Amino acid sequence: MFTTNDFQNYRSKLGFKNREEFKKFLSAKDIIPSIDYNYIDLLNNRLQKIFISLNAIYYKPCECLDGFFDRHLVKTYNIMKNNNILNKLNNQGRRKEEVYFNWMRGYLVCEYFKGDISNIFNIPVKKIKQIGDDDFDDITTFKRTPKADLEIDNFRIEVQSGFQGINDIKEHKVREAKRVFFEKDFRTLILHFDLFNGQAAFVDISEIEEDNLNWITRQQMEGQSVFNIDQNYFKWLLVEEPPAINFNKQ
């Protein structure tokens, strides 16, 4: 019968004493694909076209989109590129360029609508705290986590966007919201922009029960459990001014 020593000798003769290194060699996982910056240029152009189109029909269009793109797209992209953040992006094996595009698209949505968020909560923009782990206050700690993006008083706001008419909230975001509510008594509100249909939903996920009927399994997300946003949560058509909402009564 063959023994582990036989296997070790075999790998050693091939030049590998470390099992994990040999696994990476056989699967080519040690080869890190280079970022296709030409592809990213095309993705950045598409992001600009998305927001140019949206801005053209928005009830309160941005008067200087070039400045918006310079501050939030170009500057942010250059920071990510120069600090090697692009190579750190990962999501279920997808291309890093696609993960970047999805992240940047969500980031731009948050920045574009931040003025309306301040109006909805009746608070100056400068008093909206940026608390997400994927900001640029400290490049060394940049990472994508379930932590909410913004904090206003005793609310945490997670801004997310949908682009295919499928509007879900990932389970780990709900778990994080329930933890924060239990430990800090802070509520977490999902502000979900469905740009496919031009509407926005407000969902308090602080106390969602596990047996809620809106929990479903998405095959597109490798069978992950998600909280589907019912149409009743959508309160704002983006071609109109956002409604006044008292979140303390939600």
My answer on whether 138 and 245 are in the same domain is yes
Condensed to tens digits (0 to 9), the pLDDT of residues 170-223 reads 898 999 999 989 998 889 999 999 999 999 999 999 988 888 888 888 776 666
- Burial track 225-242 (b if 16+ CB lie within 10 A, e otherwise): ebbebeeebbebebeeeb
Residue 194 belongs to some domain of the structure: yes
AA letter at 51: F
My answer on whether 134 and 89 are in the same domain is no
State residue 48's pLDDT score. 97
State residue 121's pLDDT score. 86
- pTM greater than 0.85 (yes/no): no
Residue 148 belongs to some domain of the structure: yes
My answer on whether 60 and 155 are in the same domain is no
Residue 125 has pLDDT above 90, yes or no: no
Residue 245 belongs to some domain of the structure: yes
Q: Which residues pair with 193 in a beta bridge?
A: 161, 200
Condensed to tens digits (0 to 9), the pLDDT of residues 66-86 reads 999 999 999 999 999 998 888
Long-range Cβ contact pairs of 173-176 (< 8 A, separation 24 or more):
173/146, 173/205, 174/205, 174/208, 174/227, 175/146, 176/146, 176/147, 176/148
- What's the structural domain count of the chain? 2
State residue 126's pLDDT score. 85
CATH of the domain at 243: 3.40.1350
Residue 13 belongs to some domain of the structure: no
Residue 10 belongs to some domain of the structure: no
Condensed to tens digits (0 to 9), the pLDDT of residues 26-44 reads 988 888 788 999 999 999 9
Residue 182 belongs to some domain of the structure: yes
Q: Which two tokens mark 212?
A: 């809620």
Half-sphere exposure of 58 (CA within 13 A, CB side): 20
Condensed to tens digits (0 to 9), the pLDDT of residues 42-58 reads 999 999 999 999 999 99
Condensed to tens digits (0 to 9), the pLDDT of residues 126-163 reads 888 887 655 554 556 555 555 667 888 888 999 998 88
Domain housing 88? 35-112
State residue 221's pLDDT score. 61
My answer on whether 76 and 155 are in the same domain is no
